[in-house]
Structure 1
Amino acid sequence: MDFLEALSRPPLVLGVDPRPGLHGSEPLVHLRRYTLELCERLAPRLAAVKFQLAFFEALGPEGMALLVELVSGARVMGLPVIFDGKRGDIGSTAEAYAEAYLRRFPGSALTVNPYLGLDALKPFFQAAAESGGAVFVLAKTSNPGSGFLQDLSVEGRPLYLYLAEALAQEGEAYREGPWSRVGMVVGATYPEAVARVREKAPHAPLLLPGLGAQGGKPLKGEGLLFSASRALFYPGGRPDLEAAERAAEGFLKALVE
């Protein structure tokens, strides 16, 4: 499996942010069953499944074991996987993160934080190239306070756009066909930012969180992956397979028509 194949699938990403309190008296048992069944039902409608690492880490060793089991299940179904960990560090630590989530799971993607500079990102880029994976670098995030740093003016343009230009140039070394393995995270809550990043980085896959609960709007264009978590994993605020299928259909209708 090569992660770039996700870009030829329907553009919807299922965000898995598990809340054990919604899963009854045996939460991990029910959570496992619910997630695998949901992935199976939605598989033809999905580009990928995004696992938010924090929610699994919060469950301790059992949560991490569950994460590996769910990731393995998604991959068996032919679904590309995104590890949403926003990792970022220097030297051997970056190498270790890259080993853990890219080389250990070939064909998967990882979200990373660029705050330490481009040199700290190169181990992730190299691991993605070697493993058939991808890296999504935080550029313009979906949260309301993202502009505190990301909108600061740098050489006459917002910091996120300065970063996008640098990543686009860096990503050319990791391009295979029309797409680079160096992608970016740009919130669907900021459609103008999406358009500006796409203009500067035409070959970068863009992961667009915020669809649904955060109010992100469907946009048109190639190489866009729209992530919905609460609105798709817990439609109506609870586990509901049928409602999730309806939500997926509604999102896709808005995205592709």
Structure 2
Amino acid sequence: MDFLEALLRPPLVLGVDPRPRLHGREPIPHIRRYALALMEALAPRLGAVKFQLAFFEALGPRGLELLLELASGARVMGLPVIFDGKRGDIGSTAEAYAEAYLLRFPGSALTANPYLGLDALLPLFRAAQESGGAVFVLVKTTNPGSGFLQDLPVGGRPLYLHLAEALAREGEAYREGAWSRVGMVVGATYEAAVRAVRQAAPRAPLLLPGVGAQGGRPLKGPGFLLAASRALFYPGGRPDLEAAKEAAEALLEALVE
């Protein structure tokens, strides 16, 4: 499996952020059953599955075992996998992240933090190219305080746009056909930023979190992957397979240009 095949599928991404309190006294077995059943039920409607690493790390060693099991299950179902860890470091540490999430899971993607500079991202980019994966670099995030750094004016334009242009240039070395393996994360809650980044980086896949519970609209566009977590994994605030299928259908039907 090559991760870029996700761009040929429906644009919806299921965010898996397990909350143990919603799964009874023995949460991990219930999370396992529910997540596998949900991925299977939604598979025809999904471009990928995104696992938020923090929620699995919070469960301790059994949580990491669960992560590997669910990621393997998604791949068996033919679903591309995104490991959402927002990793970023220098030298051998960056190489270790690349080994852990890209080389060990060929065809998968990892989210990354650019704050240490583009050189710190190179081991991830190279690993993505070697493994048929992708890297989604944080450019404009959904949190209200993101503008503190990301919107800083530099030469009359926001910093996030300069970053997008730099990543687009770097990403040309990792392009396979129409799309680069260097993607970007842009919050669907900032539609103007999505449009600006798409114009600056026409070959970059864009992961757009914030659809659904955070108020972002399901935007339709080339290379867009729309990530919804609470709206799909816990529709109505609880595990519910039927409601999740209805929510997925509603989001796909609501796609807007």
Q: How many residues align?
A: 257
Tell me what 1:179 maps to. 179
SS at match of 1:211: coil
Q: Distance in 2 between matches of 1:25 and 1:243?
A: 23
Misfit runs of 4+, over 4 Å: none
State the Cα deviation string for residues 96-120 of structure 1 (Å, max 9, x = none).
0010000000000000000000000
1:154 deviates by 1.4
Any conservation in 2 of the 1:4–1:179 contact (CA below 8 Å)?
A: yes
Task: List per-residue Cα deviations over 1:62-97 (Å, max 9, x = no partner).
Answer: 000000000000000000000000000000000000
The letter of the residue matching 1:247 is: A
1:124 and 2:118 correspond? no
User: Any idea what the Cα deviations from partners look like across 1:158-212, whole Å, max 9, x if unmatched?
Assistant: 0100000000000000001100000000000000000000000000000000000
Identity over aligned pairs, percent: 82
Q: What do residues 216-240 of structure 1 show as CA deviations (whole Å, max 9, x unaligned)? A: 0121211000000001100000000
Provide the aligned C-alpha RMSD in A: 0.8
The TM-score with structure 2 as length reference comes to: 0.99
Distance 2:163 2:241 in 1: 39
Q: Which residue of 2 aligns with 1:220?
A: 220
After TM superposition, the structure 1 = structure 2 runs for residues 153-232 of structure 1, keeping only pairs within 5 Å, are: 153-232=153-232
Residues in 2 aligned to 1:256 and 1:157: alpha-carbon distance in whole angstroms? 27
DSSP 3-state at the match of 2:138: strand
Please name the residue that 2:83 is paired with. 83
Alpha-carbon separation, structure 2, partners of 1:185 and 1:74: 22
Q: Kindly report which structure 2 residues correspond to 1:27-38, keeping only aligned pairs within 5 A, or say none.
A: 27-38=27-38
Q: Is the 8 A contact 1:11 1:255 kept in 2?
A: no
CA distance in 2, matches of 1:154, 1:78: 43
- 1:18 corresponds in structure 2 to 18
Residue of structure 2 equivalent to 1:48: 48
Query: d(CA) in 2 for partners of 1:214 and 1:144?
Result: 11
Query: Offset of 1:255 from its aligned partner?
Result: 1.9
The 3-state SS of whatever aligns with 1:255 is: coil
* Inter-partner Cα distance in structure 2 for 1:208 and 1:178: 19
* Partner residue in 2 for 1:74: 74
| TM-score, normalised with respect to structure 1 | 0.99
| Alignment correspondent of 1:141 | 141
**Structure 2: gaps spanning 5 or more residues:** none
| Structure 1 residue identity aligned to 2:213 | A
